Structure 1
Amino acid sequence: MGLTGAGRREGYSGTGPGGTAPDGCSVELWARLPVGDEPDVIGRAVPAGARVLELGCGTGRVTHPLLERGFTVTAVDESPEMLAYVRGARTVRSPIEELELDERFDVVLLASFLVHAGDLRVRRGLLRTCRRHVADDGCVLIQREGEGWHDTLPRERTIGQGPGVARLLSSDPVGDGVRSVRFEYVFPDARWTHTFLSRPLSPLEFERALAEAGLALDAYLTEDRTWARAVPAAG
């Protein structure tokens, strides 16, 4: 996923009001996006009061509900502008794939479809970071793209209770199994776009990627298999 000028990740960009993170995400946009069902999925999957390492926390959209539920959260992001929004959690500024904390956690959280990084080296680095920081009896929770996520485009959904709308405009092959994906977020007062690279993974490819990092699939947590729990592989 190499970095280009001003720390920008190649193939990743964004437009709209305010600054953007290295992956093209708008800080102002993510600060206003509501949380979805992530805290519910996580809460059902792990022990109460667990120590959570949240990789790619952004502005704390998931961090804050987890804190409210009694979890202890260490929140990691490479964008200082994103981290400035996080309250109540220990924060660490670092690219995920370079993270080296001298501790391990009950739960490592890799949400936001980050496992689909277009660059294989980055994906491997992300999963190695998960393995490096999860306790022997802990687990890694990973959010995946849904089946057919790149098909039947464009499509849109209402953001929370409205009035914002998120549109998945396009997903174009750019070689080596990677697609360039373009999103649009429209509110009455502002519009943002986000372009990023995604490498689709079948369930078998996903499990192989886990195994390569020393992890094993424990269970899919949702019927659509967009959330999975992995554990350290035996041996």
Structure 2
Amino acid sequence: MKNGYDGTGPGAFTPDGCAVDLYTRLPVRDEPQIIASAAPPPATLLELGAGAGRVTRALTAMGYAVTAVDESPEMLAHVTGARTVCSSIEDLRLPDRYDVVLLSSFLVHAPDPAVRAALLDTCRRHVTPGGVVLIQREGVDWHERVPRESPAGDGIARALASDDLGDGTRSIRFEYEFPDATWTQVFRSRPLTPEQFEAALSEAGLVLDRYLTSDGIWTCCRVAD
């Protein structure tokens, strides 16, 4: 596993501690509807960090032409109905541009600012003129509201801890309990205030257009003029 990232439970794991079998079980939530509110189908959509296709399948069913990107071939093997590209997001250089570029799963909170900058550069490089970049952020109390739990299909997802590492990052510990299996995941996050988020966008040549949800988690961004 990568430094500061780990996972336990059955099946294969990605280098950042994500359990492939777990991610095939996690249900889609309201992400497709939020995405459609900013850029309705049909549209071309680049999904960065698609994982096992949890959101991908719903997007293709709605009429989006999706290109799903993930660095894990084991994850991508579960994606159906979309073009797949096995690559890290930071290194992605596709010849195409897309009406919608999607960076979800709180990836913008990468602990290394250089990685965050590379993720946002990839978003800007691949969006069409006039297109949108949709980015999922952590909620304002995401790190304070622990422990907490929420349903995850026929299982339970628990945020168990968010520990301050003293360098602007936090170590996050999750547990996923299902009737027949339990997984844990440990990863790192760099919290961003709204001002820090907008500054990071500006450095990448992007600008916040609007918040898509009242909790500030989903944002619609565009290429800066």
TM range (shorter): over 0.9
- Where has structure 1 moved over 3 Å in runs of 4 or more? none
Aligned to 1:213: 204
2:50 to 47, 57, 72: 57
Aligned to 2:28: 35
Amino acid at match of 1:124: A
Q: Distance in 1 between matches of 2:142 and 2:105?
A: 14
The alignment covers a number of residue pairs equal to 225
Amino acid at match of 2:169: V
Q: Distance in 1 between matches of 2:41 and 2:26?
A: 26
1:184 to 162, 175, 194: 175
Deviations 1:176-233 (A, max 9, x none): 2100000000011100000000000111111001001000000000000100000000
Q: TM-score under structure 2 normalisation?
A: 0.98
Aligned to 1:48: 41
Aligned to 1:93: 86
Amino acid at match of 1:98: D
Aligned to 1:203: 194
Aligned to 1:232: 223
Deviation at 1:44, TM superposition (A): 1.2
Q: Distance in 1 between matches of 2:50 and 2:21?
A: 14
Deviation at 1:95, TM superposition (A): 0.5
Quote the sequence identity (%).
61
Q: Distance in 2 between matches of 1:49 and 1:112?
A: 23
Q: Distance in 2 between matches of 1:74 and 1:133?
A: 11
Deviation at 1:175, TM superposition (A): 2.7
Change (3 A) 1:47 1:40: closer
Amino acid at match of 2:92: L
Amino acid at match of 1:212: E
Aligned to 2:163: 172
Q: Secondary structure at the match of 2:165?
A: strand
Aligned to 1:3: none
Aligned to 1:69: 62
Gaps of at least 5 residues in structure 2 are none
Deviation at 1:9, TM superposition (A): 2.4
Q: Secondary structure at the match of 1:87?
A: coil
Aligned to 1:194: 185
Deviation at 1:47, TM superposition (A): 3.2
Amino acid at match of 1:133: H
Gaps of at least 5 residues in structure 1 are 1-7
Is residue 2:169 matched to residue 1:158? no
Deviations 1:78-126 (A, max 9, x none): 0000000001110000010110111211000000000001111111110
RMSD value, Cα: 0.8
Q: Distance in 2 between matches of 1:118 and 1:11?
A: 10
